[in-house]
Structure 1
Amino acid sequence: METSELRRHLETEYARLRSVIPDAEDLTGITVPSCPEWSFADLVRHVGEVYLHKVDCIRLNARPTQVPDRTGLSPLDVLERGFALLNQTFDEHQPQDPAWTWFAPDQSVGFWIRRMAHETTVHRVDAELAVNDASEIGAELAEDGLDELLAVMLVADIEPHEYRIGRPDIELRSPARSWFVHFEPESLRVSDEGRATTVIQGPASDLELWLYNRAAGANLKYTGDLMGVGVIKDLLTEATQ
Protein backbone atom coordinates (compact mmCIF):
# COMPACT_ATOMS: atom_id res chain seq x y z
CA MET A 1 0.00 0.00 0.00
CA GLU A 2 1.27 3.49 -0.85
CA THR A 3 2.53 5.57 2.06
CA SER A 4 0.05 8.35 1.28
CA GLU A 5 -2.77 5.84 1.66
CA LEU A 6 -1.33 4.61 4.95
CA ARG A 7 -1.22 8.20 6.23
CA ARG A 8 -4.87 8.60 5.28
CA HIS A 9 -5.78 5.39 7.06
CA LEU A 10 -3.79 6.46 10.13
CA GLU A 11 -5.76 9.70 10.35
CA THR A 12 -9.09 7.93 9.79
CA GLU A 13 -8.43 5.19 12.32
CA TYR A 14 -7.21 7.69 14.91
CA ALA A 15 -10.39 9.74 14.45
CA ARG A 16 -12.46 6.58 14.93
CA LEU A 17 -10.50 5.70 18.06
CA ARG A 18 -10.87 9.21 19.45
CA SER A 19 -14.61 9.25 18.72
CA VAL A 20 -15.38 6.23 20.91
CA ILE A 21 -13.49 7.41 23.99
CA PRO A 22 -16.17 7.99 26.66
CA ASP A 23 -16.66 11.48 28.05
CA ALA A 24 -16.19 10.20 31.61
CA GLU A 25 -13.40 11.96 33.48
CA ASP A 26 -12.19 8.67 34.95
CA LEU A 27 -11.58 5.96 32.36
CA THR A 28 -10.01 3.52 34.81
CA GLY A 29 -13.34 1.85 35.60
CA ILE A 30 -13.93 0.76 31.99
CA THR A 31 -12.35 -2.56 31.08
CA VAL A 32 -11.01 -3.54 27.66
CA PRO A 33 -12.15 -7.12 26.92
CA SER A 34 -9.48 -7.75 24.29
CA CYS A 35 -6.75 -6.57 26.70
CA PRO A 36 -8.10 -7.80 30.04
CA GLU A 37 -5.21 -6.41 32.05
CA TRP A 38 -5.97 -2.88 30.79
CA SER A 39 -8.55 -0.26 31.67
CA PHE A 40 -9.68 2.21 29.01
CA ALA A 41 -7.30 4.72 30.59
CA ASP A 42 -4.42 2.26 30.10
CA LEU A 43 -5.37 1.76 26.46
CA VAL A 44 -5.55 5.48 25.71
CA ARG A 45 -2.27 6.23 27.48
CA HIS A 46 -0.54 3.29 25.77
CA VAL A 47 -1.43 4.50 22.27
CA GLY A 48 -0.21 8.02 23.06
CA GLU A 49 3.03 6.67 24.50
CA VAL A 50 3.58 4.55 21.41
CA TYR A 51 3.20 7.66 19.24
CA LEU A 52 5.70 9.61 21.36
CA HIS A 53 8.17 6.72 21.23
CA LYS A 54 8.03 6.64 17.43
CA VAL A 55 8.57 10.39 17.26
CA ASP A 56 11.85 9.85 19.13
CA CYS A 57 12.79 6.88 16.90
CA ILE A 58 12.62 9.24 13.93
CA ARG A 59 14.08 12.39 15.44
CA LEU A 60 17.00 10.60 17.09
CA ASN A 61 17.45 7.95 14.38
CA ALA A 62 18.32 5.68 17.30
CA ARG A 63 16.53 3.47 19.76
CA PRO A 64 15.13 5.79 22.46
CA THR A 65 16.54 5.25 25.93
CA GLN A 66 14.44 7.80 27.84
CA VAL A 67 10.71 7.86 28.53
CA PRO A 68 8.98 11.07 27.34
CA ASP A 69 7.99 13.42 30.18
CA ARG A 70 4.26 12.97 30.87
CA THR A 71 4.11 14.93 34.12
CA GLY A 72 0.63 16.30 34.75
CA LEU A 73 -0.85 14.77 31.61
CA SER A 74 -4.04 12.74 31.63
CA PRO A 75 -4.28 9.64 29.41
CA LEU A 76 -6.25 11.68 26.87
CA ASP A 77 -3.63 14.46 26.98
CA VAL A 78 -0.91 11.88 26.23
CA LEU A 79 -2.90 10.50 23.31
CA GLU A 80 -3.66 13.86 21.75
CA ARG A 81 -0.16 15.25 22.26
CA GLY A 82 1.35 12.04 20.90
CA PHE A 83 -0.75 12.06 17.76
CA ALA A 84 -0.10 15.74 17.08
CA LEU A 85 3.66 15.27 17.39
CA LEU A 86 3.56 12.09 15.31
CA ASN A 87 1.72 13.86 12.50
CA GLN A 88 4.11 16.80 12.69
CA THR A 89 7.10 14.48 12.52
CA PHE A 90 5.70 12.61 9.53
CA ASP A 91 5.05 15.95 7.79
CA GLU A 92 8.66 16.99 8.37
CA HIS A 93 10.15 13.87 6.76
CA GLN A 94 9.98 11.92 3.53
CA PRO A 95 9.04 8.23 3.84
CA GLN A 96 12.52 7.22 2.68
CA ASP A 97 14.29 9.31 5.33
CA PRO A 98 16.27 7.27 7.86
CA ALA A 99 14.75 6.25 11.18
CA TRP A 100 15.64 3.61 13.74
CA THR A 101 13.31 0.58 13.65
CA TRP A 102 13.41 -2.91 15.13
CA PHE A 103 13.20 -4.40 11.59
CA ALA A 104 16.72 -4.42 10.16
CA PRO A 105 15.76 -4.52 6.44
CA ASP A 106 13.73 -1.28 6.72
CA GLN A 107 15.23 1.62 8.65
CA SER A 108 12.96 4.36 7.32
CA VAL A 109 10.23 6.78 8.33
CA GLY A 110 7.91 4.91 5.99
CA PHE A 111 8.21 1.83 8.19
CA TRP A 112 6.76 3.77 11.13
CA ILE A 113 3.99 5.28 9.03
CA ARG A 114 2.85 1.78 8.13
CA ARG A 115 3.34 0.44 11.67
CA MET A 116 1.38 3.29 13.25
CA ALA A 117 -1.49 2.91 10.78
CA HIS A 118 -1.93 -0.73 11.82
CA GLU A 119 -1.18 -0.13 15.50
CA THR A 120 -3.91 2.50 15.58
CA THR A 121 -6.35 0.26 13.73
CA VAL A 122 -5.95 -2.63 16.15
CA HIS A 123 -6.31 -0.36 19.17
CA ARG A 124 -9.34 1.33 17.59
CA VAL A 125 -10.88 -2.14 17.59
CA ASP A 126 -9.91 -2.52 21.27
CA ALA A 127 -11.62 0.76 22.10
CA GLU A 128 -14.77 -0.23 20.24
CA LEU A 129 -14.88 -3.59 22.00
CA ALA A 130 -14.71 -1.79 25.33
CA VAL A 131 -17.87 0.21 24.64
CA ASN A 132 -19.75 -1.79 22.02
CA ASP A 133 -19.18 -4.21 19.16
CA ALA A 134 -16.13 -3.61 16.96
CA SER A 135 -16.50 -2.69 13.30
CA GLU A 136 -14.46 -4.42 10.62
CA ILE A 137 -11.21 -3.25 9.06
CA GLY A 138 -11.38 -2.18 5.42
CA ALA A 139 -10.30 -4.99 3.11
CA GLU A 140 -7.28 -3.23 1.55
CA LEU A 141 -6.01 -2.01 4.91
CA ALA A 142 -6.51 -5.46 6.43
CA GLU A 143 -4.59 -7.08 3.56
CA ASP A 144 -1.68 -4.71 4.12
CA GLY A 145 -1.97 -5.46 7.83
CA LEU A 146 -1.66 -9.17 7.12
CA ASP A 147 1.38 -8.46 4.97
CA GLU A 148 3.03 -6.62 7.83
CA LEU A 149 1.93 -9.09 10.47
CA LEU A 150 3.26 -12.13 8.61
CA ALA A 151 6.14 -10.95 6.41
CA VAL A 152 7.56 -8.44 8.91
CA MET A 153 6.49 -9.09 12.50
CA LEU A 154 6.36 -12.89 12.36
CA VAL A 155 9.48 -13.32 10.23
CA ALA A 156 11.49 -10.84 12.33
CA ASP A 157 10.50 -12.29 15.69
CA ILE A 158 10.41 -16.08 15.27
CA GLU A 159 13.67 -18.03 15.23
CA PRO A 160 14.07 -21.57 13.80
CA HIS A 161 14.41 -23.10 17.26
CA GLU A 162 10.86 -21.92 18.00
CA TYR A 163 9.24 -24.22 15.44
CA ARG A 164 9.76 -27.70 14.09
CA ILE A 165 11.63 -27.89 10.78
CA GLY A 166 9.60 -29.53 8.03
CA ARG A 167 6.23 -28.71 9.55
CA PRO A 168 3.56 -28.57 6.80
CA ASP A 169 3.12 -25.13 5.33
CA ILE A 170 0.15 -22.96 6.25
CA GLU A 171 -1.97 -20.86 3.89
CA LEU A 172 -4.01 -17.87 5.01
CA ARG A 173 -6.45 -17.03 2.23
CA SER A 174 -8.61 -13.93 1.78
CA PRO A 175 -10.93 -13.35 -1.21
CA ALA A 176 -8.19 -11.29 -2.90
CA ARG A 177 -4.96 -13.16 -2.15
CA SER A 178 -3.06 -15.75 -0.10
CA TRP A 179 -0.12 -15.80 2.28
CA PHE A 180 1.93 -19.00 2.66
CA VAL A 181 4.01 -19.60 5.79
CA HIS A 182 6.97 -21.93 5.08
CA PHE A 183 8.90 -23.59 7.91
CA GLU A 184 12.48 -23.84 6.63
CA PRO A 185 15.80 -24.75 8.28
CA GLU A 186 17.33 -21.28 8.07
CA SER A 187 14.27 -19.18 8.81
CA LEU A 188 10.53 -18.94 8.66
CA ARG A 189 9.53 -17.58 5.24
CA VAL A 190 6.32 -15.99 3.95
CA SER A 191 5.39 -15.91 0.27
CA ASP A 192 2.34 -15.33 -1.92
CA GLU A 193 2.42 -18.74 -3.55
CA GLY A 194 2.96 -22.36 -2.63
CA ARG A 195 1.13 -25.41 -1.35
CA ALA A 196 -0.20 -25.88 2.16
CA THR A 197 -1.54 -28.67 4.31
CA THR A 198 -3.38 -26.22 6.57
CA VAL A 199 -5.68 -23.62 4.99
CA ILE A 200 -7.36 -20.82 6.95
CA GLN A 201 -9.78 -18.85 4.81
CA GLY A 202 -12.00 -15.82 5.30
CA PRO A 203 -12.34 -12.03 4.91
CA ALA A 204 -9.07 -10.15 5.40
CA SER A 205 -10.48 -8.23 8.37
CA ASP A 206 -11.49 -11.44 10.14
CA LEU A 207 -8.11 -13.02 9.44
CA GLU A 208 -6.19 -10.04 10.81
CA LEU A 209 -8.32 -9.66 13.93
CA TRP A 210 -8.13 -13.42 14.60
CA LEU A 211 -4.34 -13.40 14.31
CA TYR A 212 -4.18 -10.43 16.68
CA ASN A 213 -6.44 -12.27 19.16
CA ARG A 214 -9.14 -9.62 18.74
CA ALA A 215 -11.73 -12.01 17.30
CA ALA A 216 -12.63 -15.67 17.80
CA GLY A 217 -12.46 -16.51 14.11
CA ALA A 218 -16.08 -17.63 13.84
CA ASN A 219 -16.26 -16.37 10.24
CA LEU A 220 -13.15 -18.28 9.15
CA LYS A 221 -13.01 -21.69 7.47
CA TYR A 222 -10.34 -24.17 8.56
CA THR A 223 -9.38 -27.12 6.34
CA GLY A 224 -6.58 -29.67 6.18
CA ASP A 225 -4.25 -30.41 9.08
CA LEU A 226 -5.88 -28.46 11.91
CA MET A 227 -2.71 -28.64 14.01
CA GLY A 228 -1.47 -25.78 11.84
CA VAL A 229 -4.25 -23.56 13.19
CA GLY A 230 -2.81 -23.73 16.68
CA VAL A 231 0.74 -23.39 15.37
CA ILE A 232 0.14 -20.09 13.57
CA LYS A 233 -1.87 -18.66 16.46
CA ASP A 234 0.85 -19.54 18.97
CA LEU A 235 3.58 -18.04 16.78
CA LEU A 236 1.64 -14.82 16.18
CA THR A 237 0.81 -14.49 19.87
CA GLU A 238 4.54 -14.65 20.56
CA ALA A 239 5.44 -12.25 17.73
CA THR A 240 2.92 -9.56 18.70
CA GLN A 241 3.57 -9.43 22.44
Structure 2
Amino acid sequence: MNRLHATKDFWLAALRADGPALVDAVAETGPDRGVADLTDELTALLRWVRATVTRGVTDRPVPDAPAPDPAPRPEWPEALDALRREITGTIETLEALDPDFPAWNWAPQPKRAAFWQRRVAHEISLRRWDAESVAGRATPIETKLAADGVSEVLDTWLPAGRRQGPDDLRGVVQLVATDAAHEWFVRLRGPGIALLDTMTILDTDDHHARAKATGTASDLLLALMGRKRTDQLALAGDPRLVQALRTG
Protein backbone atom coordinates (compact mmCIF):
# COMPACT_ATOMS: atom_id res chain seq x y z
CA MET A 1 0.00 0.00 0.00
CA ASN A 2 1.37 3.40 -0.92
CA ARG A 3 1.19 6.07 1.73
CA LEU A 4 -1.30 8.88 1.24
CA HIS A 5 -0.65 12.28 2.76
CA ALA A 6 -4.00 14.04 2.70
CA THR A 7 -4.35 17.02 5.01
CA LYS A 8 -6.95 19.48 6.22
CA ASP A 9 -5.97 21.90 3.44
CA PHE A 10 -6.34 19.13 0.85
CA TRP A 11 -9.82 18.15 2.03
CA LEU A 12 -11.00 21.76 2.33
CA ALA A 13 -9.78 22.49 -1.20
CA ALA A 14 -11.80 19.52 -2.43
CA LEU A 15 -14.86 20.82 -0.60
CA ARG A 16 -14.50 24.24 -2.16
CA ALA A 17 -14.38 22.65 -5.62
CA ASP A 18 -17.07 19.98 -5.26
CA GLY A 19 -19.53 21.96 -3.12
CA PRO A 20 -20.46 24.56 -5.76
CA ALA A 21 -20.40 21.88 -8.49
CA LEU A 22 -22.89 19.85 -6.46
CA VAL A 23 -25.21 22.83 -6.03
CA ASP A 24 -24.99 23.60 -9.77
CA ALA A 25 -25.95 20.01 -10.68
CA VAL A 26 -28.83 19.97 -8.21
CA ALA A 27 -30.11 23.32 -9.46
CA GLU A 28 -29.86 22.17 -13.07
CA THR A 29 -31.79 18.97 -12.41
CA GLY A 30 -34.53 20.38 -10.23
CA PRO A 31 -36.48 18.52 -7.57
CA ASP A 32 -37.32 15.47 -9.69
CA ARG A 33 -35.72 12.02 -9.96
CA GLY A 34 -34.60 11.78 -6.35
CA VAL A 35 -32.66 15.03 -6.27
CA ALA A 36 -35.06 16.59 -3.76
CA ASP A 37 -34.38 13.68 -1.38
CA LEU A 38 -30.63 14.02 -1.92
CA THR A 39 -30.88 17.74 -1.17
CA ASP A 40 -32.89 17.30 2.02
CA GLU A 41 -30.74 14.43 3.32
CA LEU A 42 -27.46 16.22 2.67
CA THR A 43 -28.70 19.48 4.18
CA ALA A 44 -29.72 17.64 7.36
CA LEU A 45 -26.43 15.74 7.48
CA LEU A 46 -24.31 18.88 7.16
CA ARG A 47 -26.37 20.65 9.81
CA TRP A 48 -25.78 17.69 12.15
CA VAL A 49 -22.04 17.61 11.41
CA ARG A 50 -21.69 21.31 12.19
CA ALA A 51 -23.45 20.86 15.53
CA THR A 52 -21.50 17.70 16.41
CA VAL A 53 -17.96 18.60 15.43
CA THR A 54 -17.91 21.87 17.37
CA ARG A 55 -18.89 20.38 20.77
CA GLY A 56 -15.25 19.85 21.77
CA VAL A 57 -15.96 16.44 23.36
CA THR A 58 -15.51 12.86 22.20
CA ASP A 59 -18.60 11.24 23.70
CA ARG A 60 -21.40 10.13 21.42
CA PRO A 61 -24.04 12.81 20.80
CA VAL A 62 -27.38 12.27 22.48
CA PRO A 63 -29.98 11.55 19.77
CA ASP A 64 -32.51 14.28 19.22
CA ALA A 65 -36.01 13.52 20.42
CA PRO A 66 -38.21 12.61 17.46
CA ALA A 67 -40.42 15.39 16.26
CA PRO A 68 -44.13 14.75 16.92
CA ASP A 69 -44.91 15.41 13.27
CA PRO A 70 -42.50 15.47 10.33
CA ALA A 71 -41.81 18.95 9.11
CA PRO A 72 -43.23 19.67 5.67
CA ARG A 73 -40.72 19.63 2.85
CA PRO A 74 -39.69 23.18 1.94
CA GLU A 75 -40.43 24.57 -1.48
CA TRP A 76 -37.67 23.84 -3.97
CA PRO A 77 -36.04 27.30 -4.06
CA GLU A 78 -35.86 27.31 -0.25
CA ALA A 79 -34.46 23.76 -0.18
CA LEU A 80 -31.80 24.63 -2.73
CA ASP A 81 -30.85 27.77 -0.82
CA ALA A 82 -30.66 25.79 2.44
CA LEU A 83 -28.25 23.31 0.84
CA ARG A 84 -26.10 26.12 -0.49
CA ARG A 85 -25.97 27.78 2.93
CA GLU A 86 -25.16 24.53 4.74
CA ILE A 87 -22.30 23.73 2.35
CA THR A 88 -20.86 27.21 2.84
CA GLY A 89 -21.34 27.06 6.60
CA THR A 90 -19.82 23.58 6.86
CA ILE A 91 -16.73 24.68 4.96
CA GLU A 92 -16.36 27.66 7.30
CA THR A 93 -16.85 25.47 10.37
CA LEU A 94 -14.32 22.83 9.31
CA GLU A 95 -11.84 25.49 8.21
CA ALA A 96 -11.92 27.05 11.68
CA LEU A 97 -11.13 23.78 13.49
CA ASP A 98 -7.68 22.39 14.18
CA PRO A 99 -7.52 18.78 12.90
CA ASP A 100 -6.71 17.64 16.46
CA PHE A 101 -9.74 19.35 17.99
CA PRO A 102 -11.70 16.72 19.99
CA ALA A 103 -14.72 15.47 18.07
CA TRP A 104 -16.73 12.26 18.27
CA ASN A 105 -16.90 9.96 15.25
CA TRP A 106 -18.39 6.55 14.53
CA ALA A 107 -15.18 4.81 13.44
CA PRO A 108 -12.45 3.00 15.43
CA GLN A 109 -10.15 5.98 15.02
CA PRO A 110 -8.94 8.94 17.10
CA LYS A 111 -11.86 11.19 17.93
CA ARG A 112 -10.63 14.32 16.21
CA ALA A 113 -12.02 16.94 13.82
CA ALA A 114 -9.76 15.63 11.05
CA PHE A 115 -12.17 12.70 10.68
CA TRP A 116 -14.97 15.06 9.68
CA GLN A 117 -12.79 17.24 7.46
CA ARG A 118 -12.01 14.09 5.49
CA ARG A 119 -15.47 12.50 5.71
CA VAL A 120 -17.37 15.59 4.55
CA ALA A 121 -14.98 16.11 1.62
CA HIS A 122 -15.70 12.59 0.40
CA GLU A 123 -19.42 12.78 1.08
CA ILE A 124 -19.74 15.96 -0.98
CA SER A 125 -17.66 14.52 -3.83
CA LEU A 126 -19.85 11.42 -4.03
CA ARG A 127 -23.08 13.43 -3.81
CA ARG A 128 -21.74 15.73 -6.51
CA TRP A 129 -21.20 12.68 -8.71
CA ASP A 130 -24.72 11.45 -7.89
CA ALA A 131 -26.32 14.77 -8.82
CA GLU A 132 -24.29 15.09 -12.01
CA SER A 133 -25.26 11.53 -12.94
CA VAL A 134 -28.92 12.48 -12.72
CA ALA A 135 -28.15 15.50 -14.88
CA GLY A 136 -26.46 13.19 -17.40
CA ARG A 137 -22.99 14.73 -17.13
CA ALA A 138 -21.12 12.99 -14.30
CA THR A 139 -17.41 13.75 -14.16
CA PRO A 140 -14.90 11.53 -12.31
CA ILE A 141 -13.83 12.25 -8.77
CA GLU A 142 -10.47 14.02 -8.72
CA THR A 143 -7.69 11.43 -8.76
CA LYS A 144 -5.92 12.16 -5.46
CA LEU A 145 -9.21 12.67 -3.65
CA ALA A 146 -10.55 9.39 -5.05
CA ALA A 147 -7.40 7.54 -3.95
CA ASP A 148 -7.86 8.90 -0.44
CA GLY A 149 -11.51 7.86 -0.68
CA VAL A 150 -10.51 4.27 -1.43
CA SER A 151 -8.29 4.39 1.65
CA GLU A 152 -11.18 5.78 3.67
CA VAL A 153 -13.37 2.85 2.68
CA LEU A 154 -10.65 0.40 3.74
CA ASP A 155 -9.40 2.10 6.91
CA THR A 156 -12.66 3.61 8.16
CA TRP A 157 -15.90 2.24 6.70
CA LEU A 158 -15.06 -1.45 6.70
CA PRO A 159 -13.40 -1.58 10.15
CA ALA A 160 -16.44 0.27 11.50
CA GLY A 161 -18.66 -2.59 10.35
CA ARG A 162 -20.29 -0.71 7.47
CA ARG A 163 -19.67 -3.48 4.98
CA GLN A 164 -22.40 -4.32 2.47
CA GLY A 165 -20.71 -7.18 0.63
CA PRO A 166 -20.57 -10.86 1.68
CA ASP A 167 -18.75 -11.51 4.95
CA ASP A 168 -18.05 -15.24 4.65
CA LEU A 169 -15.09 -15.10 2.24
CA ARG A 170 -11.36 -15.46 2.87
CA GLY A 171 -8.51 -14.28 0.68
CA VAL A 172 -6.45 -11.29 -0.35
CA VAL A 173 -7.65 -8.53 -2.68
CA GLN A 174 -5.34 -6.18 -4.56
CA LEU A 175 -6.75 -2.86 -5.73
CA VAL A 176 -4.72 -0.91 -8.29
CA ALA A 177 -5.42 2.73 -9.22
CA THR A 178 -3.95 3.11 -12.68
CA ASP A 179 -3.90 6.91 -12.62
CA ALA A 180 -2.70 7.48 -9.06
CA ALA A 181 0.27 5.11 -8.65
CA HIS A 182 -1.47 3.58 -5.64
CA GLU A 183 -2.29 0.02 -4.73
CA TRP A 184 -3.90 -1.56 -1.69
CA PHE A 185 -3.80 -5.11 -0.34
CA VAL A 186 -6.73 -6.21 1.81
CA ARG A 187 -7.01 -9.54 3.61
CA LEU A 188 -10.50 -10.90 4.21
CA ARG A 189 -10.96 -13.33 7.08
CA GLY A 190 -14.67 -13.97 6.90
CA PRO A 191 -16.22 -11.07 8.82
CA GLY A 192 -12.76 -9.76 9.66
CA ILE A 193 -10.70 -7.49 7.45
CA ALA A 194 -7.11 -6.22 7.52
CA LEU A 195 -5.55 -3.49 5.39
CA LEU A 196 -2.00 -4.64 4.68
CA ASP A 197 1.08 -2.49 4.30
CA THR A 198 3.42 -4.97 2.69
CA MET A 199 6.25 -2.45 2.77
CA THR A 200 6.49 -2.42 6.56
CA ILE A 201 4.62 -5.38 8.07
CA LEU A 202 6.40 -8.67 8.67
CA ASP A 203 3.82 -11.35 8.02
CA THR A 204 4.29 -15.03 7.30
CA ASP A 205 0.99 -15.26 5.42
CA ASP A 206 1.08 -15.37 1.64
CA HIS A 207 0.27 -11.91 0.21
CA HIS A 208 -0.34 -13.24 -3.27
CA ALA A 209 -3.59 -11.68 -4.42
CA ARG A 210 -6.54 -14.04 -4.83
CA ALA A 211 -8.41 -11.27 -6.60
CA LYS A 212 -7.29 -8.09 -8.31
CA ALA A 213 -9.32 -5.07 -9.39
CA THR A 214 -7.77 -2.43 -11.62
CA GLY A 215 -9.18 0.91 -12.68
CA THR A 216 -8.90 4.62 -12.18
CA ALA A 217 -9.01 5.80 -8.59
CA SER A 218 -12.43 7.32 -9.26
CA ASP A 219 -13.83 4.08 -10.69
CA LEU A 220 -12.42 2.03 -7.81
CA LEU A 221 -14.03 4.35 -5.27
CA LEU A 222 -17.35 4.51 -7.08
CA ALA A 223 -17.44 0.70 -7.24
CA LEU A 224 -16.63 0.32 -3.55
CA MET A 225 -19.32 2.87 -2.68
CA GLY A 226 -21.95 1.13 -4.79
CA ARG A 227 -22.14 3.71 -7.56
CA LYS A 228 -20.68 1.41 -10.21
CA ARG A 229 -20.69 -2.34 -10.68
CA THR A 230 -17.48 -4.13 -9.79
CA ASP A 231 -17.54 -5.82 -13.21
CA GLN A 232 -16.91 -2.38 -14.72
CA LEU A 233 -13.38 -2.70 -13.35
CA ALA A 234 -10.68 -4.96 -14.81
CA LEU A 235 -10.98 -8.04 -12.61
CA ALA A 236 -8.78 -11.08 -12.14
CA GLY A 237 -9.32 -13.94 -9.72
CA ASP A 238 -12.47 -14.45 -7.67
CA PRO A 239 -14.74 -11.41 -8.24
CA ARG A 240 -16.68 -12.17 -5.05
CA LEU A 241 -13.66 -11.06 -3.02
CA VAL A 242 -13.86 -7.61 -4.62
CA GLN A 243 -17.61 -7.46 -4.05
CA ALA A 244 -16.95 -8.22 -0.37
CA LEU A 245 -15.28 -4.80 -0.04
CA ARG A 246 -18.37 -2.85 -1.03
CA THR A 247 -19.74 -0.49 1.55
CA GLY A 248 -22.46 1.14 -0.51
Question: In which range does the TM-score fall when normalised by the shorter chain?
Answer: 0.7 to 0.9
Residue 146 (structure 2) pairs with residue 142 (structure 1): yes
Counterpart secondary structure, 2:168: coil
Mind listing any 5+ residue stretches in structure 1 that lack a counterpart? 32-38
Give the alignment of 1:105-120 within 5 angstroms.
105-120=109-124
- Say which of 46, 50, 55 aligns to 2:45: 50
Whichever residue aligns with residue 132 of structure 1, its letter is G
Do structure 1's residue 173 and structure 2's residue 181 form an aligned pair? no
Q: Residue 19 and residue 185 in structure 1: after superposition, are their counterparts in 2 closer, same or farther (change >3 A)?
A: closer
Q: Quick one: which amino acid aligns to residue 172 of structure 2?
A: D
1:127 maps to which residue? 131
Match of 2:204 in 1: none
Q: Name the counterpart of 1:10.
A: 15
Residues 22, 68 of structure 1: alpha-carbon distance in 2 compared, 3 angstrom cutoff: farther
More displaced stretch, 64-73 vs 51-60: 64-73
In 2: Cα distance, 1:87 partner to 1:97 partner: 16
Q: Say if 1:84 and 1:67 are closer, same or farther in 2 by CA, change over 3 A.
A: farther
Partners of 1:229 and 1:89 in 2: how far apart? 36
Question: Conserved in 2, the CA contact under 8 Å of 1:57 and 1:64?
Answer: no
TM-score, normalising length from structure 2?
0.80
Distance 1:186 1:58 in 2: 30
TM-score, with structure 1 as normaliser = 0.82
Cα shift at 1:219: 4.9
Matched with 1:79 is 83
Correspondence for 2:202: none
Which residue, 144, 154, 160 being the options, matches 2:158? 154
Summarize deviations over 1:183-236 as a string: whole Å, max 9, x none. 248941112433211111111111111111212356521001233233333xx2
**Alignment partner, residue 216 of structure 1:** 229
Task: Indicate if the aligned counterparts of 2:168 and 2:191 stay in contact, CA closer than 8 A.
Answer: no
Confirm or deny: 8 A CA contact 2:105 2:115 kept in the other structure: yes
1:196 to 201, 204, 209: 209
Of residues 220, 240, 245, the one that matches 1:207 is: 220
Q: Report the AA paired with residue 169 of structure 1.
A: V
The answer to whether the Cα contact below 8 Å between 1:7 and 1:113 also exists between their aligned partners in 2 is yes
Tell me if the contact between 2:35 and 2:131 (Cα under 8 Å) persists in the aligned partners.
yes
Tell me the distance in 2 between the aligned counterparts of 1:80 and 1:217.
Answer: 33
1:24-72 deviation per Cα after TM superposition (whole angstroms, max 9, x unaligned)? 7xx43x21xxxxxxx2111112111111111111122342522899888
Greater shift in the superposed pair: 131-140 or 55-64: 55-64
Out of 46, 61, 64, which is 1:63 matched to? Answer: 61
Q: Determine the C-alpha separation between the residues in 1 that align with 2:217 and 2:28.
A: 32
Which residue number corresponds to residue 36 of structure 1? none
Report the Cα distance in structure 1 between the residues aligned to 2:116 and 2:82, rounded to whole angstroms.
19
Note the C-alpha offset of 1:136.
Answer: 0.7
Higher relative contact order (CA 8 A, sep 6+): 2
Q: 1:21 to 1:130 in 2, by over 3 A?
A: same
* Contact persistence 2:27–2:80 (CA under 8 A): no
Q: Look up the SS of the partner of 2:117 in the other structure.
A: helix
In 2, Cα distance between the equivalents of 1:68 and 1:119? 25
